[in-house]
A and B are shown apart, each in its own frame.
Chain A
């Protein structure tokens, strides 16, 4: 079963010097936090804030290349969680065929936001992830930790 997720925001995790993308299943109020690196976070933040950089960033290039190849992103799926690592798939339509590409969730989300493709999470991933961990983490946050990514 797949649940459609919205990107609700991006938090900075000062303890791990990383960023957390918050995905939310609006229907069931399930949250899925995904820790990502700085450059992937900035790629996601640019798309969320609709900032067009003077030169194409890596994920803008991905979209431009896919457009040039006449390939369309149908959907992205956060498909699995193993040893604290999330796995994602990007589903492409090219000609009459569908292609599935293995990807990190950060790249999949950055591409989905640029191509307006839906983001799904498998029910399995939502069950496996421990949302208590995020809640504990959120309780320790100070207001100044919330903000835009520092790109």
Chain B
């Protein structure tokens, strides 16, 4: 994997709901707004990310709240998540956990990693290789087809 100094920090710009399919799109952007990385995720994961972004506290903990809860109870912190690779349109990511100076890395889907990152308020990084290979044109095509209503109404 690339060294930390070549990693590009990204922020979650928003989550779009695709009204035609059972998917949502997490839009990540860099600080200069020059790079966009769209990642297609499932409804449950997209909803989970959106709830955390909007600071909605559900009456009962959602799955990612539970992960955040046991991670912090056990004294671990999430240092960062890195979107490391894209293979056959599937993105891969790594969650970096730390306790007492000992770091552990855990393989995960980006949707879970991002849902955890927005709860832990830890940085999100992407490797330059992933940005080079992303499907940015797909998002443009998709966005142009999307009406305004669909981008705002959550499905669930």
Q: Which residues of A contact B (CB under 8 A)?
A: 37-40, 54-59, 61-62, 64-66, 68-69, 71, 85, 87, 90, 92, 94, 99, 101-104, 107
Contact = CB atoms under 8 A, between A and B. Distances in A.
Nearest to B110: A55
B11 to A, nearest CB: 22
Contact of A58 (B60, B106, B107, B112): B112
Contacts of A54: 90
Contacts, number: 80
Contact of A101 (B44, B66, B90): B66
B95 A59 contact: no
B45 A58 contact: yes
Interface string B33-45: 0000000001111
Given A39-B42, A68-B97, A99-B70, A104 B112 contact: no
Overall SS of chain B's interface? mixed
Contacts of A40: 63
Overall SS of chain A's interface? mixed
Contact of B108 (A61, A66, A94, A103): A61
10 contacts: A56-B107, A57-B109, A58-B63, A61-B67, A65-B70, A69-B76, A69-B99, A90-B66, A92-B73, A103-B61
B108 A69 contact: no
Contacts of A39: 42-44, 63
B109 A55 contact: yes
B63 A94 contact: no
